[in-house]
Amino acid sequence: MSCLKEQFDELRKIYPDEIKDAMVLPLLQMTLKAKGHLVESDALYIADYLELPAMQVKEAMTWYSMLYRTPVGKHVVKVCRSVACSLRGEQRIVAHISKKLGIKPGETTADNKFTLLEVECLASCGTAPMMQINDTYHEDLTEAKIDQILEALQ
Amino acid sequence: MSNIEFSIDDKKLEALPGETVLKAALRNGIDIPYLCYHPCLSIAGNCRICLVRIKGRPGFHPSCNLPVAPGMEIESDCEDVSAVRKNVMQFITLNHPVDCPVCDKAGECKLQNYHFKYNGSASLSIDAKKHKPKFYDVNERILLDAERCILCSRCVRFTHEISKSGMLGITERGQQSRVEHLESGAAKDDYSDNIIQNCPVGALLSRDFLYKSRVWYLEPVASVCNGCARGCSVDVWRRKHHWKVRALGSEKNRMAYRITAKQNDDINGRWICNKGFDLNKQINDFASRATKPAIGGMDATCQDALSEARKLIFEAKKPAAIVSAHASNEELEAFKKTLGSRVEVYVRKDYEPAAGEVVEDELLIKADKNPNSTKVEELFGKESFSAAAGHDLVLVWGDNVEYSALSGAKIIHLATQKPNGNPDVLIPISTQFERKGSYTNFEGKVNRFEQVFDKPELVLHASDVFGRL
């Protein structure tokens, strides 16, 4: 945590004390970048650092699907399961990816290349069904399209 | 600033400056449903059941977060609003388990009431309900049934804004959302039981009251917490007369099933501390009650005990009395009128803060753990008993007494609990819950309590005893 703390201190210089709770997300992202995934003690550390209620930081940490709370592979496949995607065949999409990668949602492939997650709304309802791989959105998905995308990443 | 004129359902009303539509409606007796709104907590606006229409504006607006504007015309009882409320109820109950037959909240559940009033239709969903933890331990006093939780966030706001423990939060997102505490141990919160009472549904459950009784068998009786000098108003829930079934046994019929906070804006607002919620344990502690008069440790009749006490007082050269800070205003007045001039009066605090107990905080809890020290001091001063005064008889009134501190004088003890030893005369007296009365709290505010139970047969009311001595 010591070098992380230096990064925290660096960032804190540009945040006024009155809005220190606005630092929760950047600090969580920094910690994620440094450690790969977050656990509750990270939230406690940040809460302690910012003198905020620990539960407030934990709420933020669990809200965002980009803040991983288990170790993940190189490519994180996040399939949206909220209403629009669900109505347009999300379950079919997940089943196809599961079959293709040989893993269930929440699991990582043995070669640590892919992690499959089902997540809440990714705000792309107009192009449902969709998924996000790392930072890229893949929309209007079909089985053929998924095969193409995954093969390109192999 | 003057009041703002507006109307709800064509009824002309006046709102206070800055008041929301919901507050103004409730103040004027208009029933707008709400689940997440609480007058003492911040506005969350997440249950959406309080939606209303504003004439001339499109859409629906949550009335809990809608400030009244001059001339505003609100519609809260039209077909559109009813349809929206029905939809909201359908949404809220989509994953609610509807396990009312085994839910402690049944009978006083807002969700039940609103379902009958605004919904009344079977669930639209044909999918299996979302399952969540059924018995999540919030702390050693509270369980959470996450399936019943409607995520109104009242409990979360309470722990952040009122008790300031910050022990709860809503984790995850969407369908996975649920109320949780940190995995690294449940936080300590001396006011945590208030969240049970303020949960609009049966999600937060008292471990103490779990499956003890259906609420429609019970009735509340107004009382006062005797745990500290604040003297908070509480409701003691006893079995209704109609439901006193002989087959249940006397203990069940004479039991305080639970304690809830009673709103008293002058003294405690809408909250009480956990010690107040534990009052029922004190009331139900029949084993330690003094229920039989005794002379020198041997059981006696009330008549004999009173005669013996009278004789001892008559024979004493220098009698003293120690009055109790747990006595009511009426009892203290009665004592002053009858015995006050015949004996030297000393005062005593029956209870000091127990080990591990919160001594004092900024919200409600006071360091003086006796409910009526103010009145005692007003009538009898502050002087406490000293062995050096050379009294040959002491009439001790109150509990938690060490006889060794009374310097070998003869002892007449008026107690509600079995004493640690054998006084010359023991006269069992009624507890606060077996008579009417009032306490004067640390601010000088008088708070009345009602009789909850009948006193045991051989127990006397202290105010009657003084007159007969």
Candidates B111, B106, B110; CA nearest to B90 is B111
**d(C-alpha A75, C-alpha A68), whole Å:** 12
Name the helix (H) or strand (E) containing A119.
Answer: strand A114-119
pLDDT of residue B6: 96
Strands (E), A9-99: 75-80
Mean per-residue pLDDT, B278-306: 95
Residue B91's pLDDT band (boundaries 50, 70, 90)?
very high
**Tokens 């969709």, located at residue:** A130
Contact call for A62 and B175, based on CB within 8 A? no
User: A38 to chain B nearest CA, in Å?
Assistant: 14
| Residue A111, pLDDT score | 95
Q: How far apart are CA A75 and CA A113, in angstroms?
A: 6
Of A116 and B467, the one with more pLDDT: A116
Chain A CB within 8 Å of residue B169 CB: yes
All residues of chain B having their beta carbon less than 8 Å from the beta carbon of residue A41 are 184
- Quick check: A59 contacting B, CB < 8 Å? yes
- CA B167 from chain center: how many Å? 22
- Cβ B186 vs Cβ B135: under 8 Å: no
Partner residue facing A53 (CB), from B160, B170, B171? B160
Task: List strands edge to edge, sheet with A136-138.
Answer: A114-119, A75-80, A131-133, A136-138
Indicate the DSSP class of residue B119: I
A54 contacts on B by Cβ (under 8 Å):
166, 182
Q: Is the pLDDT of residue B142 over 80?
A: yes
Closest CA to B152 of B200, B115, B119: B200
Can you tell me the distance from the alpha carbon of B445 to that of A62, in angstroms, rounded to the nearest whole number? 47
Tell me the CA distances in angstroms from B234 to A108, B352, B438, one per residue in order.
55, 22, 13
Average pLDDT over residues B368-389: 93
Nearest CA in chain A to B165: A53
Nearest to B166 among A53, A62, A82 (CB): A53
Instruction: Answer whether B173 touches A (CB < 8 Å).
Output: yes
Beta strands in B10-78 (DSSP E): 11-15, 51-54, 61-62, 73-75
Strand partners, B437: B449
Of the given ranges (B32-41, B87-96, B403-412), which has the lowest mean pLDDT?
Answer: B403-412
Q: Is the pLDDT of residue A2 over 80?
A: no
pLDDT at B120: 82
Selecting from A54, A59, A65 the residue whose C-beta is nearest the C-beta of B170 gives: A59
User: Are residues B173 and A63, on separate chains, in Cβ contact within 8 Å?
Assistant: yes
Longest alpha-carbon distance in chain A = 51
Q: Which residue in B169, B237, B158 sits closest to B191, CA to CA?
A: B158
B206 beta partners: B142
Identify the CA nearest to B141 among candidates B208, B74, B200, B75: B208
Cβ distance of B184 and A63 shorter than 8 Å: no
Residue A131's contacts (CB-CB under 8 Å, 6 or more residues apart) are A77, A78, A79, A80, A93, A97, A122, A137, A138, A141, A146
Residue A56: list chain B partners with CB under 8 A.
160, 166, 169
Q: Find how far residue B111's CA is from the centre of its chain.
A: 23
Query: What is the helix (H) or strand (E) element at residue A26, kind and residue range?
Result: helix A24-35
Q: Which of B63-67, B262-266, B403-407 has the lowest mean pLDDT?
A: B403-407
A54 touches chain B (CB under 8 A): yes
Quick: pLDDT tens for B246-262.
888 888 899 999 999 99
* B444 at A interface, C-beta within 8 A: no
A82·B172 Cβ contact <8 A: no
Dist. CA B179–CA B184, nearest whole Å: 15
Q: What is the number of CB-based contacts under 8 A between chain A and chain B?
A: 42
Q: What is the pLDDT of residue B125?
A: 84
State the DSSP H helix or E strand holding residue A138, giving kind and residue range, or none if neither. strand A136-138
Q: Which amino acid is at A108?
A: T
Residue where the block lists tokens 């009330």: B302
Q: Do A59 and B171 touch (CB under 8 A)?
A: yes
Contacts of A64 in chain B (CB under 8 A): 173
Q: Facing residues of B417 across strands?
A: B289
Question: In the predicted model, is pLDDT for residue A1 greater than 60?
Answer: no
Crossing angle of helices A54-63 and A24-35, rounded to 10°: 70
Euclidean distance between CA atoms B349 and B385, whole angstroms: 11
DSSP 8-class letter at A112:
S
Whether the ω angle into residue A16 lies within 30 degrees of 0, i.e. cis, is no
Poorest-pLDDT segment among B60-74, B143-157, B393-407: B393-407
Q: Give the C-alpha separation, B88 to B426, whole Å.
A: 63
Sign of CA dihedral B87, A84, B154, B63: negative
B124 part of contact set with chain A, CB < 8 Å: no
Give the one of B171, B173, B174 whose C-beta lies nearest to A58's C-beta: B171
Mean pLDDT over residues B270-279, rounded?
A: 97
